[in-house]
Amino acid sequence: MLDRLEIKGFRTFDEYTVEDLGRVNLFVGRNNSGKTTILEAAEMLLSSDTPNAVVGCAIRRGELQIERKQERRSKYVDVSHLFHGHRCDVGSSFVIEGCEGGDQVSLRSEVEPLEPDHRRGRTLFDDGQNLEPDFSLLIRHSQRPEPITVPLALPGVISPVEMRRMSIGPASDGRSVSFVRTESLDAVELQEYWDAIVLTEEESNVVESLRILDPRVDRIAFLSSSSYPRYGTSLSGIYIRLRGLDDRIPLGSLGDGVRHLLTISMAVSRSAGGFVMIDEIDPGLHHSVMSDMWRVLIGTAERLNVQIFATTHSLDCVRSLAWLANTQPDLCRDVRMHRVDSERPSTVVYSPDEISTAAAQHVELRG
């Protein structure tokens, strides 16, 4: 498990520290305080495929540049916003460090002039502009013997074409790191999650988690895709079988809460020995079911040796965690709540007992 996280020059943080990380960590704070940034920093530090984690971090936020030439539009990933102050000049850098099980792990990413050996014969833009790279994003990770050089066609701009050309491969540990974003995953991503657990014990555990919202849930099925050209979309069939009903029910008919709970349950169940980041853990969930959600997630994380990092804006979410900490203290002994304030040098950490006190005192989650 990650015990400590230090962030320097990354997004909103000049320097920031997260101490006393537990098995399950809930980050609270006002909008734009840096909660999601902490999850992203942990993801990049812990991922076995650092370059794709860096690019994925920007794509999730829609940090893209769109170039138009004649009738063609090309999208490029803009990683300049990963740097504090949104500056991506030569010498710009960010550093993420941590302590994992007593071992130090670090990631440093810096913009440098591209060496001639990397520049020769590499045209990044595929829209006819024929721009040659002059800069590179140099990524040094303590778990890799050699740094990784990602060419930049312009300061901060990475071409998806170039990323597809690169054959880096994951680090040797091969552990799972999953990031569940605020909006629902699409059907293809859900299918990938399901494929990792189908016909295992975890399949029945995911079904059991959905019974928090509807006790009639009996089975989940992912069926082949159907195309709807008229509407410009392709839909993958995700269906739920409810006891007492003959017809299968499309997942979307049961509401956003069921889809979100399915997503986070599968993410944790497929990540044995790994890490799961959940940006907004409670959308679509009524306060009356949140304690059961916490009970299932904490129990699964403990059983599968998964470390969870989650964010919330909901006081109901904190109260439900506090109630569980009071009623099942052994289950929650390795749970922590962190209040994030970008004007402080570190998070304010609450132990299980202190979470109850904070909830009783209506701890301010928005600043």
What CATH code is carried by the domain that includes residue 291?
A: 3.40.50.300
Least confident of 41-45, 130-134, 288-292: 130-134
Least confident of 23-32, 193-202, 230-239, 339-348: 230-239
Q: Are residues 144 and 188 in the same domain?
A: no
- The answer to whether residue 202 scores a pLDDT higher than 50 is yes
Q: Is residue 170 included in any domain, yes or no?
A: no
Q: Average pLDDT for residues 7-13, to the nearest whole number? A: 96
| Alpha-carbon gap, residue 172 to 52, rounded angstroms | 16
| Alpha-carbon gap, residue 252 to 238, rounded angstroms | 8
Q: Which domain, by its residues, includes 268?
A: 177-360
Each residue's pLDDT tens digit, 130-167: 556 678 889 999 988 888 888 887 767 887 666 656 65
Our count of domains for the chain comes to 2
Q: Are residues 333 and 217 in the same domain?
A: yes
118 membership: H or E segment, kind and range: helix 116-119
**151 versus 74: which is more confidently predicted?**
151
- The answer to whether residue 347 scores a pLDDT higher than 80 is yes
- Percent of residues, the chain, with pLDDT higher than 90: 43
- What per-residue confidence (pLDDT) applies to 256? 84
- What per-residue confidence (pLDDT) applies to 299? 94
Q: Is residue 15 included in any domain, yes or no?
A: no
- The answer to whether residue 168 scores a pLDDT higher than 80 is no
Q: Are residues 89 and 143 in the same domain?
A: yes
Most confident range, picked from 220-224, 287-291, 362-366: 287-291
In sequence order, which ranges of 23-110 are alpha helices (DSSP H)? 35-46, 50-60
Q: Are residues 187 and 301 in the same domain?
A: yes
Cβ–Cβ under 8 Å, residues 338 and 347: yes
Burial of 17 per CB tally in 10 Å (0-12, 13-18, 19+): middle
Each residue's pLDDT tens digit, 46-61: 987 888 888 888 888 9
Q: Is residue 22 included in any domain, yes or no?
A: no
- What per-residue confidence (pLDDT) applies to 125? 42
Most confident range, picked from 109-118, 230-239, 301-310, 354-363: 301-310
Cβ–Cβ under 8 Å, residues 92 and 109: no
Q: Are residues 156 and 225 in the same domain?
A: no
- The answer to whether residue 186 scores a pLDDT higher than 90 is no
Q: Are residues 144 and 225 in the same domain?
A: no
Q: Average pLDDT for residues 178-203, to the nearest whole number? A: 82
Q: Are residues 231 and 298 in the same domain?
A: yes
| Alpha-carbon gap, residue 25 to 309, rounded angstroms | 5
Q: Which of 165, 185, 219 is the last residue of a domain?
A: 165
- Band of pLDDT at residue 336, cut at 50, 70 and 90: very high
- Percent of residues, the chain, with pLDDT higher than 70: 81
Q: Which of 140, 165, 190 is the last residue of a domain?
A: 165
pTM for this model (two decimals): 0.88
Q: Is residue 31 included in any domain, yes or no?
A: no
Q: Are residues 196 and 127 in the same domain?
A: no
Q: Is residue 16 included in any domain, yes or no?
A: no
- What per-residue confidence (pLDDT) applies to 128? 43
- What per-residue confidence (pLDDT) applies to 160? 67
Q: Are residues 183 and 327 in the same domain?
A: yes
Q: Are residues 121 and 223 in the same domain?
A: no
Each residue's pLDDT tens digit, 233-285: 444 578 899 998 888 898 888 888 888 899 999 999 999 999 999 999 988 88
Q: Is residue 237 included in any domain, yes or no?
A: yes
Task: List the one residue out of 126, 154, 152 whose CA is nearest residue 139.
Answer: 152
State the chain's mean pLDDT as an integer. Answer: 83
Q: Are residues 107 and 201 in the same domain?
A: no
Q: Which of 120, 145, 165 is the last residue of a domain?
A: 165
Q: Is residue 14 included in any domain, yes or no?
A: no
Q: Is residue 285 included in any domain, yes or no?
A: yes
Q: Are residues 139 and 212 in the same domain?
A: no
